[in-house]
Amino acid sequence: GAVVSQHPSWVICKSGTSVKIECRSLDFQATTMFWYRQFPKQSLMLMATSNEGSKATYEQGVEKDKFLINHASLTLSTLTVTSAHPEDSSFYICSALPRDPFFEQYFGPGTRLTVT
């Protein structure tokens, strides 16, 4: 089956610093990747959609200058949280849509970010 990995699985950073999260599709090419955020006891909220080779599309209310997304290849997308604050602490999950004619998104295991 299709596998999506995320790195790191958890990270602790100090307020004001930046942290990068990687999302990789391991055995398929993904023209589209999605980034979600999930706060405790809440559902997943879509942050942005990234397409390989083009700028990401951000959902309303998500600051594009704070959450930098780069989809440099068909197997890698990165999310950089810049100038992190404690309120950015959350579970960040990516998903990838295979390039082949499948229609199910495959999700990564998530990255737990804690900003102190």
Partner 1 sequence: DAKTTQPTSMDCAEGRAANLPCNHSTISGNEYVYWYRQIHSQGPQYIIHGLKNNETNEMASLIITEDRKSSTLILPHATLRDTAVYYCIVKQETSGSRLTFGEGTQLTVNP
Q: With respect to partner 1, which residue has the nearer C-beta, 3 or 72?
A: 3
- Torsion-angle region of 11 (φ positive above 0: left; ψ -120 to 50: alpha; else: beta): beta
Among 37, 56, 108, 113, binds partner 1 (CB under 8 A): 108
Q: Where are the alpha helices (DSSP H) in the chain?
A: none
| Euclidean distance between CA atoms 17 and 97, whole angstroms | 31
User: What tokens does 94 get?
Assistant: 């990516």
Among 8, 16, 53, 109, binds partner 1 (CB under 8 A): 109
Q: With respect to partner 1, which residue has the nearer C-beta, 81 or 94?
A: 94
Size of the site for partner 1 (CB under 8 A): 25
Among 7, 32, 52, 62, binds partner 1 (CB under 8 A): 32
| Euclidean distance between CA atoms 11 and 61, whole angstroms | 24
- Torsion-angle region of 110 (φ positive above 0: left; ψ -120 to 50: alpha; else: beta): left
Q: With respect to partner 1, which residue has the nearer C-beta, 15 or 59?
A: 59
Among 19, 84, 93, 115, binds partner 1 (CB under 8 A): 93
